[in-house]
Amino acid sequence: MHEHELQNILSGIGDKEPLDCPVGQRLYLKLLNLFFKLPPTEKLRNTNTLLTYICGVLIRILMKPGPKNHAKRCTCTMIAIWLITLFSFPIFAQQSNIHFSPLGSTWYQTKIAALEKSNIPKRYTEQSAQAWYQEMITDRNNSLIHLFKDNSVIYDTLLLNKCNTIAQRIVAANTNYHFDSIQFYINRSYVPNAACYGEGTIMVNLGLFLWLDNDDELALVLAHEMSHQVLNHLQSRLDKNIATLTSAGFTEELKDIKKSKDGKYDRFRKLMKSFTVENGRHGSYKESEADSLAAILMQQAGFNVANGAITLLKLDNSDAPFTAPTFYSLKDFFAAAPIDQSFFVVKSKYHGLSSAAVTMNADQDFDSVKTHPDCVLRYQAITRKSTRPAINCCTSLTTGYGNYKERAMLEIVRNLYENNDISLCAHFCIFALQNHYSNAIYNDFLSLCFSQLYYSDKHLQRFNAVNVKALRETTLKSLQDYLFDAGITDLDKLSVYCLTKAAITDAEDMDFALTMRNIQITGKDATATIATFNRKYPNSKYQYLLKLKSP
């Protein structure tokens, strides 16, 4: 049997009755994967591999439906398990250490309770000003509470320990400043950013770690946010906003707008625009002030400020994953997949979703992730350099920060799948696989994406699952269009193909992917299938996802 014959078997898996037991399915996929990797001569020379091949054939017999094959299925199961246990035990000994970080709603219950019970101090003597202050602080606290309760925050020890180590070094070297109230948290957003909330909370996004390459770069971000806290910038902004909102001119204009019969909307929009512009100028000024103090804090702690300032240039390019036309090659990635390849043929004009008058791209106000203003000017101000180094997105894993990028990427992918953001989840998985991120779990999550998309299509929810309002002429747009156009037969095949591409990982990861495939594609009874998984993995990291994703 040649490799192309095995590929034919693989492409036909979707048309056969799958195994009732996820263990058997996982075994079959792993055996095929191991067999594919050996050259033809080694297939017959290697005893273990030959036995593996025999077991693969035996397990294929298990896939034949019908009562007449019941005895064969029982016999072949016993033979296959015996042979694998006797000769190929190392296959199953290769267990990964992949884990998920605890979710904020459970880990940070004390923080949530403190925010819910917090008392707002009296700051203003004027009643209207105090009312505005109470409303703003309450909104701020509620925003934080929702972040924790909605599991937008995780307790990741690797990333948090790195942040705390850098921060402790800054604090120890700058005893003239008070950092007592500052606490760091990891936000699950893929946007490369960090934020100070004013009461001591500093959120560092997962997406930021994809761009960082050394301690100097992380130190600049943390020192910048710590400077916002030390300089009390949030309170300054609140005071400025409240002064505007309670000023005679502003309140009189609001009263006039309420009384007017015509043009209310235009007048109100003009009033609020002037308020927003002024607030924006105030924000830019405070960013420069925070940069200046951050440079001092870093120098005192022995960090290289010029190296750290490169982070600002990275923030200036942080739209690249969503706007780049060649972020990765979609055609190359799917070239070996047993699917219809016609979508990836270059066309003079594409008559699909992209060229329609109303598309997923109709709302062209793509949210920029450049949340900090004038990044290039800020870099030049800090470094006194007019030239800029080249910036590459997220691809360098050879540095000491490779493990932090890996950790962040895994949690980003988990979060996107959890929230049914299928296009973005697949987008990050493909990017990770084509840029040598080492976690084999990305193929498992790609399989999960295709199973979820198959299920969404059956329930007329495919559009919602893949729509990310991607910009034209971008890699993300090409992926989005393919996921919208792909036939369900190809989605079925891709679900299996991605599992065969996965390296031999922790059995739990593949069993979860197979369980979801059984539920979402092959139509197995969800209750029974999940019960089987839970009996095998009573403390699985996927248990909450099973509850979330089960019909």
Give pLDDT tens digits for 342-366: 888 765 444 444 433 333 333 333 3
- CA 487 to chain CA centroid, Å, is 26
For every residue of 264-277, DSSP letters joined together read: HHHHHHHHHHHHHH
Predicted pLDDT at 67 = 52
For every residue of 78-101, DSSP letters joined together read: HHHHHHHHHH-HHHHH-------P
Beta bridge partners of 196: 202
Predicted pLDDT at 242 = 85
- Give the span between the Cα atoms of 52 and 36, in whole angstroms: 11
In the sheet that 183-187 helps form, which strands lie side by side, from edge to edge?
Answer: 153-154, 183-187, 201-205, 194-196
| Residue among 444, 423, 222 at smallest CA distance from 311 | 222
Rounded to whole angstroms, the maximal C-alpha distance in the chain is: 91
> For the chain, what is the total number of helices (H) and then of strands (E)?
29, 4
Predicted pLDDT at 180 = 86
Q: Which positions of the chain have pLDDT values less than 50?
A: 1-20, 35-53, 55, 59, 62-63, 80-96, 277-282, 348-371
Q: Looking at 113-221, which runs of residues are DSSP E strands?
A: 153-154, 183-187, 194-196, 201-205
- The Cα-based distances of 366 to 326, 375, 468, 470 in angstroms read 18, 19, 9, 8
Backbone φ and ψ for 548, nearest 5 degrees, come out as -70, -40
Q: Which DSSP symbol is given to 342?
A: G
Tokens of 66: 């019908």
Q: Please tell me the pTM assigned to this model.
A: 0.77
Beta bridge partners of 195: 203
| Residue among 370, 322, 295 at smallest CA distance from 476 | 322
- Identity (one letter) of the amino acid at 353? L
- Give the span between the Cα atoms of 545 and 547, in whole angstroms: 5
- Contact, 187 vs 203, CB < 8 A? yes
Question: What contacts 185, CB < 8 A, 6 or more positions away?
Answer: 104, 108, 153, 160, 201, 202, 203, 204
Half-sphere exposure at residue 95, Cβ-oriented, CA atoms within 13 angstroms = 6
| Residue among 424, 425, 406, 405 at smallest CA distance from 414 | 425
How do strand 194-196 and strand 201-205 relate by DSSP bridges?
A: antiparallel
